[in-house]
Structure 1
């Protein structure tokens, strides 16, 4: 059917032709076998063909070779009376350019109702599609950067703890957000555990998360107690562009059988007992970082060997259609079921995620889950109190020598006694008593700790040639496998550890008990 025939159906002669010629969208008509019968001015501008060149030609002239079958399928649908709205495809201009277009097609019927032709309205969306592609690429780049920032905090296995972690970036909106987690070897058998969540999404939140995680790790390694660490992070957060952060920090000491916890507005930490019962740790919730004005509180709680701590972010438990308290109860019951039968932490983590997030293809927020288990306590622990006097140094050596003999670790005696003497001498000369000497060993290492009642912490330094002091800690640093200091409520603890090998164990106790100086 020609445009002249359609024009005659209007109430005014020429109305239809004027309408389609003035349209900003390309309009063409074609027979059911694809022959072009009408071509307006906008079609000429879009494709470069004049009406004289286009009319009478087959529509395939503007169809890319790989879409010939698609065009045939569209014409077949039109022949069945189907109207096709806003179909996005590609077409080829006369100069060879490939255009992205949005096309609407509908059948044209004759007076008797039979379908004789098709009309197409086409709009060039190439610029829009290019913009969408660039935006998608930008989002993908930002997502990759944000994801890389987050994955730097993957929990690694460290001595004294087993861990399984899961991080699922959001599949909606700007994608990756500000979740983070970290597992830190604090030395002397102690383990630091972090989980946090920066408000917001995208690269900005991920960058803030990376800054906070780095700062938190540095502060933890510096030996700050959890509440002091939170106070410092709170001040640090106020200068960041995303100033609203929730997090929780735990400092676990399996040798002491305790864990110290401080929370900044974060969700409850769940403790799973060896018999698979689950309970919340009684920790004051506190306020999020960046708010200020209210001090954070830490609590010290017992930590049994064989227990597992469960830390997570709100993406695991919050939904738009469920109450948070009900979800937390669901998590508790789910953990009890899982840990009653799970073979290991990795399978437990997978089962928890599958149960709480059955549709793992779509989730509106980042999901973070961290399971940390402390399977065994140290094999042996012993301590003794000493007065702040010279006689305490040989007394401490005798105590340590006897314990090493009792534990079958006499191969470590020479080095351990030398380093313990240095720490005891420093405590006697530079601190206030009483002095506490604590020793412990696990399958992996021997630990020696000296606690006094003076706050300033010692540091290794290079002594001048004329000085008698200043070399003790350099000796400790050279001979120990690890050493460090940490504050206590009334002073400080200086510690060192030595790795235990199979060759170090089982030496003759008689050799260790032989007379020795001091």
Structure 2
């Protein structure tokens, strides 16, 4: 019916990878065709096989029917190699052509099948849709038209998903190349993480940096450029270079944000949040300044959590009147500094304060003695899964601990 078709169309529109396309088909296509199942297999001509993308196959069938070699006599393989839609209207017709499939038909409960070749815009075959019904099926013109239409829509969706994956990976690779590895000075424990969004609209622009200026001073930076994609990564790279360069040149923490904004110039359209944390590893004094960035947190050794919510300025790029704003905190033995971008805490229909409180509660629960990697993993587990289980924003995370002794 129209509602089933609408749900299928919406699910395919939201699918941005081959497995998600297959999942949308498996869930929403059967009601459109009155079928028991609809499965997508994609071709790998280099390996001469079709890969069945159904998330879970019935018991005992995964090993034999997950990857379908071109050398096997199976309905999906024959349809793909023959480059044609193929229909078998009842159980006997299936067994006449494929006598070994009897046990599988019994296990899955299938009485008729159709195989529809899925193509891209250049009419090249990408794979096969396998459709099964519980009993005999009449493949009249109306049913064949529905099958062909579904094949066309799935082909377009697969092609779009492949383009999305390519662009997504390009931005992820570019972002990670820009961030690179950080140099961690002796005497301080540091873990850094960058986790990309699974949706392209949320990826690019988050960054971190660790700047060792020699002596006892180390500066940690986290920032987030508005926007997404290659342009956001480019802007992020520019800001990261400017901020890091000023820190290395000995610019006082009090004036770095103002200097960066001046260096960008009035013509710049970059808007970003950024926070800087200058740690003296001799006295363990922590000086910090923030331009529109979510508050960092300090977890005390006893489990208490302190929000670094002073020294706040407006976003970088807003062209506001700026005044020097630096606050000071002290890190005791075993204390942990957690700086992050908003993708870690933001959720729909929640305030930023709600997210910070949730992060604070998680920090209280997790024992840093288990290691900073374990702590970082626990914090990243707070991310909003977003629509369809896909995270909508990337995250940069810096975790710093003063050694116990």
TM-score normalized by the length of structure 1: 0.50
Give SS of 1:274's match: coil
Change (3 A) 1:305 1:100: closer
Contact 2:190 2:401 in 1 (8 A): yes
1:315 aligned to which of 310, 324, 343: 343
Of 252, 267, 283 in structure 2, the residue corresponding to residue 256 of structure 1 is 283
Q: The residue matched to 2:288 in structure 1 has which SS?
A: strand
Correspondent of 2:359 among 331, 339, 344: 331
Taking a change above 3 Å as real, the CA distance of residues 195 and 74 of structure 1, as seen in their structure-2 partners, is farther
Q: Does 1:363 align with 2:391?
A: yes
Q: 1:172 to 1:134 in 2, by over 3 A?
A: closer
Aligned-partner Cα distance in 2 for 1:312–1:256: 24
Q: Secondary structure at the match of 2:232?
A: helix
- Which of 283, 296, 303 in structure 1 is aligned with 2:330? 303
Measure the CA separation in 2 of the matches of 1:280 and 1:261: 12
Conservation of the 8 A alpha-carbon contact between 2:171 and 2:233: no
In the alignment, is the contact (CA less than 8 A) between 2:223 and 2:272 conserved in 1?
A: yes
Shift of 1:135: 3.0
Change (3 A) 1:203 1:71: same
Q: State whether structure 2 residue 219 is matched by structure 1 residue 192.
A: yes
- CA–CA separation in structure 1 for the residues paired with 2:249 and 2:287: 16
Residue 299 of structure 2 contacts residue 337 of structure 2 at CA under 8 Å; is this kept in 1? yes
Number of the residue aligned with 1:65: 81
Q: Helix, strand or coil: the match of 1:247?
A: strand
Secondary structure, counterpart of 1:89 in structure 2 = strand
* CA gap 1:67/1:238 in 2 versus in 1, 3 angstroms: same
2:171 to 143, 154, 168: 143
List 4+ stretches of structure 1 deviating above 6 A.
Answer: 78-84, 100-103
* 2: CA distance, partners of 1:149 / 1:207: 12
* Unaligned segments of structure 1, at least 5 residues: 1-59, 92-96, 108-113, 378-518
Instruction: Give the equivalent residue in structure 1 for 2:248.
Output: 221
Deviation at 1:294, TM superposition (A): 1.9
- 2:165 and 2:355 mapped to 1: Cα distance? 36
- RMSD over equivalenced CA pairs, Å: 4.0
Q: Please tell me whether residue 118 in structure 1 is matched to residue 140 in structure 2.
A: yes
Distance 1:162 1:293 in 2: 36
Unaligned runs of 5+ in 2: 1-75, 95-109
- SS at structure 1 position matched to 2:353: helix
Contact 1:310–1:372 (Cα < 8 Å) also in 2 = yes
Structure 1 residue 214, shift from structure 2 partner = 1.1
State the 1:227 CA deviation. 2.2
Matched length: 301
Q: How far apart, in 2, do the equivalents of 1:100 and 1:332 lie?
A: 48
- Do 1:287 and 1:296's aligned partners in 2 also have CA atoms closer than 8 Å? no
Q: CA deviation at 1:98?
A: 4.4
Q: CA deviation at 1:168?
A: 1.0
**Aligned-pair CA distance for 1:367:** 1.7
Match for 1:344 among 341, 365, 371?
Answer: 371
Change (3 A) 1:283 1:115: closer
SS of residue matched to 2:198: coil
Distance 2:404 2:214 in 1: 16
Shift of residue 261, structure 1, vs aligned partner: 1.1
- Check 1:369–1:65 CA distance in 2 against 1; reply closer, same or farther (3 A cut): same
Show CA shifts across 1:269-289 (max 9, x none).
111222221111242321000
Query: 1:192 Cα deviation (Å)?
Result: 0.4
The structural deviation recorded for 1:138 is 4.7
